[in-house]
Structure 1
C-alpha cells in the first residue's frame, strides 16, 4: 500500500504540471485581459501602466515562471469581477458543489443497485425488459430537459419544491434527482451486465449446489465481485459531478463551482477559471486514487 501511494504521488506531479501549462495558455486564448479590465474611457497611458503592472510586457517564459511561483503559493491572481483573490472565491463555492454531488450519487446508488440486481436475477423477464428500457430512456434524456420538466411539474404546477436556490433539503431534491437520474441509468445497466457475467461463473453454481441461500449467493458472492466496473463508473461520474454540474447549477441557481465557472467564462474572468480548473483537477485525481484503493479492498489480487 505504501509503495502504491508513493507511485500515485509521483504520477500526480507531472499531471499537475501539464495542467498548469494548459491553464496558463487559456489566458492567451481568452482575449486581451487588459481590454477587459479597463473602461472605455481609459487612455493609452493607462493601458501601458496596467500591462506593466500585470507583467504582460515580459517574455512568455518569464510570465510562466512568475505564474508558477504564484501558483505554488496558492495565488491565482485577483478576480476583476469580484475585486478579490480568486482561490478563496472558488473554495467558498466548493461545499455547495460537494453537497449536490454527494446527494446525486446517493440518488443514483439507491435507484441503480436494487434495479440492476433485480434485472439480472430476472433475466429476460418482462421486469428485466422494463427496467432495461427505463434505464436506456433515463440515459438518453438530457439533464437540462429533465431539470426543466421537474421544475414545471413539482415547483410550478404542484409547488412541492422551490424553483431554485440553496439552503434547505427541499432546495436539494430536484437538482439531485436531475443529476442522479442519468448516472442511475448508466449504473443500472452496468450492474445488470456485470451481475449476469458473475452469476454464470462456476463458483456461483458451486455455492448453490452446497445449499447456500439465494440471498447470500446474490449479495455476498455475486454482487461484491461485480462491483469493480461499478466503482470505475462511480469514480468517473463523481469526477464529472464535481466539475461538470454547469448546466444543472445554472438551471436551479445552485451556488456551486459550476455556476461560478459559467459566470466567469461569460465575463472572461480568467483568474476564477484558472483557480476552478486547478481545484477540479486535484479533486478528480484524488477521486481516481480513492477508486484504486477501493479496488484493492474489494479484490486483493489487484496490485496496480
Structure 2
C-alpha cells in the first residue's frame, strides 16, 4: 500500500469529511430523521425503547467525531510520510505495509490519542443536542434543565 498524497480518492474523502465536520449536530440529526424516518421510513424518528431507535442518534454523534478524527489521521500520516525516517526505512527495503503501520502510524498516534481525549467535551455537547432532537430522556434533557 503505497501512500500517495492528494489523489482523487483522498480529495473526495477530505471533502466528505469537511462537509460532515461543518454541519451542526442538530442539522445532521434533522437530515438523518428526514431521510431515514420520513422519506425512506426504515427507522423510527424518536424514542429510546428499541435498538433501531438508537441508530439515528448514534449516527448523528458519530458523523462529527469520525470527520474530525479522519482529517487528523490524514494530516498526521501525510506529515509522517514526508519525514526523513520514512525515506531511510524505504531505502532499506521496508515494505509499504510495515512503513504505514510500524513507522508512520506509530509516530502519529500520540497527537491522535491526545485529540481523542479532548473530544470528550465535544461529544458531551453533541449528546445534549442529539438527545433533545430525538426526544430521549436522560443526559440531554437533564443538562438542558440546568442551563
The TM-score with structure 2 as length reference comes to 0.88
**1:178 corresponds to:** 60
Q: 1:230 to 1:219 in 2, by over 3 A?
A: same
Higher relative contact order (CA 8 A, sep 6+): 2
Is 1:143 paired with 2:25?
A: yes
Is 1:133 paired with 2:15?
A: yes
Q: Report the Cα offset of residue 256 of structure 1.
A: 2.7
- The count of aligned residue pairs is 147
> Unpaired segments of 5 or more residues in structure 1?
1-117, 267-304
In the alignment, the residues of structure 2 paired with residue 139 and residue 165 of structure 1 have an alpha-carbon distance, to the nearest angstrom, of 26
The TM-score with structure 1 as length reference comes to 0.45
Question: Aligned ranges for residues 11-30 of structure 1 at < 5 Å?
Answer: none
Q: Report the Cα offset of residue 144 of structure 1.
A: 0.6
Q: Report the Cα offset of residue 243 of structure 1.
A: 5.0
In the alignment, the residues of structure 2 paired with residue 122 and residue 138 of structure 1 have an alpha-carbon distance, to the nearest angstrom, of 23
> Unpaired segments of 5 or more residues in structure 2?
none
CA-atom RMSD, angstroms?
2.0
**1:232 corresponds to:** 114
In the alignment, the residues of structure 2 paired with residue 214 and residue 245 of structure 1 have an alpha-carbon distance, to the nearest angstrom, of 39
Contact 2:127 2:140 in 1 (8 A): yes
**1:160 corresponds to:** 42
Deviations 1:255-274 (A, max 9, x none): 23122121x237xxxxxxxx
Q: List structure 1 runs of 4+ shifted beyond 6 angstroms.
A: none
Contact 1:244 1:258 in 2 (8 A): no
SS at match of 1:198: helix
In the alignment, the residues of structure 2 paired with residue 172 and residue 125 of structure 1 have an alpha-carbon distance, to the nearest angstrom, of 36
Deviations 1:94-152 (A, max 9, x none): xxxxxxxxxxxxxxxxxxxxxxxx9x933121112211111111111111111111111
